[in-house]
Structure 1
Amino acid sequence: MLKLEAVHHIAIICSDYEKSKRFYTEVLGFQIDREVFREARGSYKLDLSLNGQYLIELFSFPSPPPRVSRPEACGLRHIAFKVSDIETAIAALNAQGIKPEPIRTDEFTGKRFTFFADPDDLPIELYEI
């Protein structure tokens, strides 16, 4: 059996680099570790961390094809972030003009969660721990 140690990163291709860069840094609070423009590919690569942990590679590529994300398309379903207070997190999103779905409760754990979308409609979950 393969012995995995941890998730290293999540790679996301965006359609509007500046809009997504602002969303992940100014709205979600990721820190920029490194930003490079790869001239040969006409592509930016932005390495982002959260609380000192490298998590996301944000890419821009010229004319990426659209990706179906709803309703429940096959493939990556969503990314999820844990929060300690879901109401405070929702208030912060609302202050940025982002309206998450109504809070739901996980029927198996009893924990509360909600969903919202990034600028390319990638589903993002907030899960209260």
Structure 2
Amino acid sequence: MSEDQDARGRGVMSVLVHIGLTVSDMARSVRFYTEAFGFTYDRELRMTAAQIDPLMQLQPPSDIHAVYLMLGGQTLELMVFDPPSAPAAASRMFNQTGLAHLSIAVDDIADTCARAEALGGTVSKRVDRAAILRDPDGQLVELVTRVFNDRLEKGRAERAGAAG
């Protein structure tokens, strides 16, 4: 299978590049995601309001500082704007329209929850194989065990094999 084909051999028209998350404190957020979940630093970007305004049209016009973190081949873009826009958004719920949560597979739910709380996160609910927490800015994060995620991935691979 080539890079520009999906599992069924069809041409791939697009790929997910990253998920962007606006945060209020870059250092705190980088520390939270790297130390709680094992993301690694990839790169950062700084652009002025004049550079980004034609595309983003922010009010007020703002400079951006973005840090890109990697986990398992996925990229999380953390963004801080100066000056910031409106006050922080209210804590969103799973059933609200829009990006609801990030989901991360971890080896140990209890240990990860303890690290997240020590780094400013808040655990909302924890059960055997999963937990729901909020990062220091209130973003919902779902934790599942790696064992559970591995079962999901195996099922996905089997379905892709059956369809091909």
**Unmatched segments (≥5 aa) in structure 2:** 1-10, 50-61, 149-164
Corresponding position: 1:120 with 2:137: yes
Distance 1:98 1:58 in 2: 16
TM-score (norm. length: structure 2): 0.61
Distance 1:20 1:102 in 2: 21
Change (3 A) 1:82 1:6: farther
Q: What is residue 79 of structure 2 aligned with on the other side?
A: 59
Partner secondary structure for residue 65 of structure 2? strand
**Unmatched segments (≥5 aa) in structure 1:** 106-111
Corresponding position: 1:90 with 2:113: yes
Change (3 A) 1:88 1:27: closer
Partner secondary structure for residue 35 of structure 2? helix
What amino acid is the match of 1:122?
A: Q
Which has the greater radius of gyration? 2
Partner secondary structure for residue 34 of structure 2? helix
What amino acid is the match of 1:58?
A: L
Partner secondary structure for residue 144 of structure 2? strand
Query: Shift of the alpha carbon at 1:69?
Result: 3.3
Distance 1:82 1:6 in 2: 21
Alpha-carbon contact 2:120-2:135 (below 8 Å) kept: no
Query: Shift of the alpha carbon at 1:85?
Result: 2.6
Partner secondary structure for residue 92 of structure 1? helix
Counting strand residues as a fraction of each chain, which structure ranks higher? 1
Q: What is residue 63 of structure 2 aligned with on the other side?
A: 42
Percent identical pairs in the alignment equals 32
Q: What is residue 20 of structure 1 aligned with on the other side?
A: 29
Query: Shift of the alpha carbon at 1:23?
Result: 1.6
Partner secondary structure for residue 124 of structure 2? coil
Distance 2:65 2:138 in 1: 20
Change (3 A) 1:45 1:122: same
Counting helix residues as a fraction of each chain, which structure ranks higher? 2
List, as ranges, runs of 4+ consecutive aligned residues in structure 1 with deviation greater than 4 Å.
2-6
Distance 1:28 1:10 in 2: 16
Aligned alpha-carbon RMSD (Å): 2.7
- 1:1-52 deviations in whole A, cap 9, x for unaligned? x95675432111112222222222233321111112213442101111014x
Partner secondary structure for residue 68 of structure 1? coil
